[in-house]
Structure formats: structure tokens, C-alpha cells
Amino acid sequence: MTGSLLVLGRAADPPTRALRRLTRTQEWHWAYLGADFPQALRVAQAVGTRAHRLPLGEELVRVAAVTARELVEALARLRGEDDPFDWWTDSLSERSPYLSPLIRECAILRVVERWLGGPGPLLLFVEGEALRAVIAGLARGRGWQVVDTAGWLGGARSGLRRRLRRVGAPLLFLVMGLARLVERRLGSPLRSNGSTSDALDVLCLSFIGPADLARSPRASDPYWGPLLPWLGNQGYRVGLVPVVVGRPLSPTRVVKALAERGTAVVLPEDHLRVRDYLWAACRGVYVARRPLGSVSFDGIDIRGLCGEERDRHGGSLRLPLALLQYRLGVRLSQNLPGLRGCLYPFENQVWERALLLGLRRGRPGLEAVGFQHSTIAPLEMNYFPAKNDWRDLPLPDRLICHGERFRQVLEGAGYPSSQLAVGGSLRYPHLLTAASSQEHTAGEGRPAVLVLLSIVLAEAAEVLWKAEKGLAGMPGARLIVRAHPFMPLPKVLAALGRSHLPPELEEGVGSLEHLLVGAACVVYRDTSAAFETAVRGIPCVYVASEVTVDNDPLDLLGPLAGLKRIASSPAEIRSAVEEILGADSATLEGWRRAGSGLRGRTLTAITSGTLTVFLPGREEASEGPTAAS
């Protein structure tokens, strides 16, 4: 609206400078346009009643799905004449909402465009230098007067941090990589089940993180579970390859964690060389610094947002570690002459594409089998390629889904049906055996309300804060908080300025399976643990965000028949939980039936036939996949 005033502040800064611009003679509206929920709380407290808060969360729900799909197509056009390897290892080709803020930022642009069509003045606290610049340009183009209170010093600090990360990340990667190589060379030879690495038939890649190091050394692999011993019994010589795409772990610690699982362990450090690390570091600098072509979204130039995303990726360890998988694929395919195939957990991320390109470069024709091992949320656009992507997108030769519903989702996204199959639900054998007898205790004794926190710090903090405010003091219920294995509870509490849970809440100890037994209700946000909850027939309350896009992993699973409720405010969460705890026996039985139906659509029994489908060289299972009954 012509003549209106827009005041912009930096989301991470104290809001004092921006708030000085507020005048008492005008009715102001404000919004926090960042993903950091604890900071949003601090800003809201500072603003108080001096301005009316705009409903960002509700607006994002309205535009997020369409925005994500259109953004994928816009980014695909950005590829231009890029070399396929450079493009498929670029984070702009990945588009995961958990690894990149681009979907959220473009959804925010659509919301802000709508706000700019209304009355002013507006006060917006914006996260990201590029997003703030685009919003300022939009407003000026519509005749608004723009005052940016962030100041030059904050921008200079942000630019300096980006430059330091660009230099520091490759150097840190090299130092850590060389240290791992030296540690491996000085360490004792790895011995496992007697197989020598050059005699292996099949490689299975598995993610390894700090949580895996704390597991029992004899625990089954969390991704491949019953498949590994079954392959051994069929006469296959199997090697387990630990994959680390976050902060690298010590090879010695990895060996100790995996060596007693009864499967040969193939350490990347036994095959990689110093020149591989040097190549990945240098290539990462090149991939991150390539010039960007023209890219627009809704007629808005978003080159700045894309450049900031490349800077973010290039200034992290994730890019060189992903590129290192290419060299690992080349080395493994060349060093293991008896290798018949490679199995890996499929999420269509850049590290997987680099691995596939390396395997095919080292030995054309070597079969790669991907395993869709978890849930698929509607905004996980890494699973939903653009139309132009299909011409040379690196994909496995076969893609095994752990349930018929997931096969349908991927086929609908454009994956060739001839490459899709359904295999056993390797990650969820406990659900296949225990889910049908699961009883939750709503209305019986002192029911447990389980609050599940996500892997994303800001989102975990939002769920914990809202659950505490809404559920504290609820009579007759146990309130249990379970943190994500990769996001410890002390870190979430620290983000909220605390060191411990309030007396009304207790920390959940033990496995998720253990905590779900007897749970009457689960409060959650964007975690695949909700899937385990729903297939047991336990009702869920999804916590909608006030600051970022919602991406519920249950949304693509088909009808839930009342198993899920959506709540945003603490009061709404309490109301939904009280309704669930007051359910009668007929409602409880309906939830159990809904869980059973969901189990049948999304899980597959583990049989010889549904394991055979994973074998390299098999076009289909010897017997049809059997849905979980």
C-alpha cells in the first residue's frame, strides 16, 4: 500500500533498535520471520502489547505445499548447462526442508506479499540477510517506505562469518580426515566374521552416529536388521559400510561399535587415500562457488536466497563429506572384485547421488539397491524430483519400499514403476510382532502422555514449551518427555534458558518401543516416531508451528480415522489431550482398528520372499510381498 511504513529488524538481534521506530499514534502489526522459536518468544515478550502479532503459522499452512512444488520446478531450471556431477551434488538440487530453509523462505515471501497488499505500518524481524533484502525490495516496489534497523555492522559480521566458514570448513575437513586416516593406519587390523574384504559379495551402507556408539555392540543394525543374518545364511558374504555425513567419528570407536554384530565391517578409511580427501575439499570449494544463473519465483528474483544456501552448504562439513562418497564409491567398486551389489538407505540426498556416480564410474553395471526405510513427509522435496530431473537423476537400479503405501507415493511422484518393489519392513520388526496386541490405557489408572521431541532444535524447543504450558497441572496423567537420540534434552532445555524439566514432567528413559507401551496419547511434531505411534492405534496430537512450515510424516499415509488432531497453542494442546483421555471404549476400539489398517498399508511382513527382493540381480521377490496383518 503506497505510503505505508515497513520496519525491518534482524531476527537474531535484540529487538530494541527496531522497537524504537514504533509510534503510539499508529496501529502496528508485527511478525517474527525466523525459525528460532526461543528467540521468537523473547521478541514477543519485548514487543508486548505495542503491536498486534500477525498469524504467520496459519498463513504458512495455506501456501507451503504449493510453494514447495513450484520452487522445485524453479530450482530445476537453474541448472542450465551445469555438469551433471556438479548439479547433483549441489544442495540446490536436493531441496530437503530439514537441510535447507529455501522452502520456508519462499513460503514467507508469499505471505509477506499478501501483507504488503494490506494496511501498514509493519514491523518484521527477518532471519537471513538475503531474505531481508528481498522483502525490502518487494516493499519498495509497492511504494512502501522501508527502514532497515539491522545496521551495517550486523551485515558485515554476517559476511565475515560466511567467508570464514568457506575457508574453515574445507580445512577442518582435511584435518579431521587426515587424523582419521592416521588413526586407522596406526590401529589394529579389523577382524569380524572371518570374511576378507576382497571376497565380499554385497555391501550394505548404514548411518552411524553418536547414538549408535552407545548401543550394545551385539545389537542388530538399525537399518538392515534381519536382512544381514539372512543374507549370511543364504551364502552371501556381506560387508557393512558405516556412513557418516555429519561430524566424522573416530574409526576406532566405529570398529568397537560394529565389530561384534556378526557381519564384516568395511571401513572407508581402509580404502580412501589422502588424495581423495584433497579432491573432495577442493571440489567442494568449486561446487559452492560456481556462478548462479537467473532464477525467479513468483516473478521475484531469488538469486540472493540461492546464493546464501550455497554459502551455507559450502561452509559446512556436509558438502566435502558428501563428495567424499563419490571417491569411496570408486574405490570400493574397484577394490572389491567379487562385489555383486550395493544396498543403501534411500532418501535421495546429495551423498547418495555422489556414491552412485562413484560406483558406476568405478564399475559400470554394478547394481545399486536403495531401501526406502522411513516415512515420507509431504514437504520432503528430496523425494519429489522436478520434471526436468528425470533425464539424468542418479537413482538406484531398484528401489525397495517397506510398505505398499510408500510404493504408491513414490510411483505417484514419477519414479519408474519397473524399478519399485515392496520388501520387508526391516526397521520395524517390533511393530510387525507387537503392534496388533498393543493396548493403550486411556481411562485406565494414570495414563501416560508422551511428548516426542524432533531432531531440529528450534522445533523441539517449541513442542516442549507448548506442551509444558498446556499440560502442566493436568490431573491424573503422567507427562513424559522423550528427546530425539540426535538432539539431547539438555540442549533443548538450554535453548529455552533452563537446566532441567519442571516437576510435572519426567524424562522418558529407554527405547521408544518401551515408552509407547501403555501410552494413552502422544504429542509430537515432524518426527518419524509418530509413525510408530499411529500404527499401534495410539492417538496423536500434532503441534502446529507459529514460525515455520509444518511437515507431518503422517499426512501421506492415507485415512487416519481420528487418530490425529492438530493443535497450535498450549490451550489447544490441552483440550485435544483431555478429549483423548476421556474417550470411551468404542472410540478406543476405533483407534485400534485405524492403527491396524495403517499397519496393513505401510508395513510388510518379513518372510523369505520379502527378503529375497533385496538381493542384487533379482527383478522381483520369489513370492509376493505380504502386508502386515
Q: For 349-416, give the DSSP string.
A: -HHHHHHHHHHHHHSTT-EEEEEE-S---TT-GGGS--GGGGGT----SEEEESSHHHHHHHHHTT--
- Express each pLDDT in 68-81 by its tens digit: 999 999 999 888 77
Task: With cut-offs at 50, 70 and 90, classify the pLDDT of residue 628.
Answer: low
Residue 91 DSSP label: G
The whole-number pLDDT of residue 437 equals 36
Residue whose cell numbers read 535447507: 100
Assigned C-alpha cell, 255: 570398529
Give the span between the Cα atoms of 428 and 610, in whole angstroms. Answer: 14
Task: With cut-offs at 50, 70 and 90, classify the pLDDT of residue 29.
Answer: very high
Give the span between the Cα atoms of 566 and 579, in whole angstroms. Answer: 13
Assigned C-alpha cell, 310: 550455497
Please report the DSSP string for 312-336 in residue order.
Answer: HHHTSSHHHHHHHHHHHHHHHHHH-
Fold for 433-602, please state it. Rossmann fold (3.40.50)
| pTM of full prediction above 0.85 | yes
**Mean pLDDT computed over 283-294:** 86
Residue 576: pLDDT above 70?
A: yes
Contacting residues for 282 by C-beta, under 8 A, at least 6 apart: 170
Assigned C-alpha cell, 187: 590401529
Pairing of strands 52-53, 29-33: parallel
Tally: H helices and E strands in the chain: 23, 20
Residue 196: pLDDT above 80?
A: no
For 128, 162, 175, 265, 298, the CA distances from 308, given in Å and listed in that order, are 8, 9, 26, 39, 19
- Express each pLDDT in 459-506 by its tens digit: 999 999 999 999 988 888 899 999 998 899 999 999 999 999 999 899
Task: With cut-offs at 50, 70 and 90, classify the pLDDT of residue 219.
Answer: low
Under a CB-based contact definition with an 8 Å cutoff, are residues 227 and 615 in contact?
A: no
Under a CB-based contact definition with an 8 Å cutoff, are residues 523 and 449 in contact?
A: yes
Contacting residues for 364 by C-beta, under 8 A, at least 6 apart: none
Contacting residues for 591 by C-beta, under 8 A, at least 6 apart: 537, 538, 539, 561, 562, 563, 583
**Taking Cα atoms as reference points, which of 282, 291, 285, 283 lies closest to residue 80?**
291
- For the sheet with 564-567, list strands across it: 505-507, 478-482, 448-452, 519-524, 540-543, 564-567
Strands (E) in 160-248, as ranges, are 202-207, 238-243
Neighbouring C-beta atoms of residue 186, cutoff 10 Å: 8
The whole-number pLDDT of residue 252 equals 81
Give the span between the Cα atoms of 135 and 112, in whole angstroms. Answer: 8
Q: Which long-range contacts (CB under 8 A, 24 or more apart) does 66-71 make?
A: 67/103, 67/106, 67/107, 67/110, 68/95, 68/97, 68/103, 68/107, 68/378, 68/379, 68/381, 69/381, 69/384, 70/297, 70/298, 71/95, 71/102, 71/103, 71/106, 71/297, 71/381
- Express each pLDDT in 84-130 by its tens digit: 898 999 989 998 988 889 999 999 999 999 999 988 899 999 998 99
Residue 41: pLDDT above 70?
A: yes
Residue 39: pLDDT above 90?
A: yes
Contacting residues for 163 by C-beta, under 8 A, at least 6 apart: none
The whole-number pLDDT of residue 424 equals 95
Of 13-22, 77-86, 424-433, 581-590, the poorest mean pLDDT is in: 77-86
pLDDT over 70, % of the chain: 91
412 burial level (CB within 10 Å; 0-12, 13-18, 19+): exposed
Task: With cut-offs at 50, 70 and 90, classify the pLDDT of residue 582.
Answer: very high
**Mean pLDDT computed over 338-345:** 94
Average pLDDT of the chain, as a whole number: 87
Residue 518 DSSP label: B
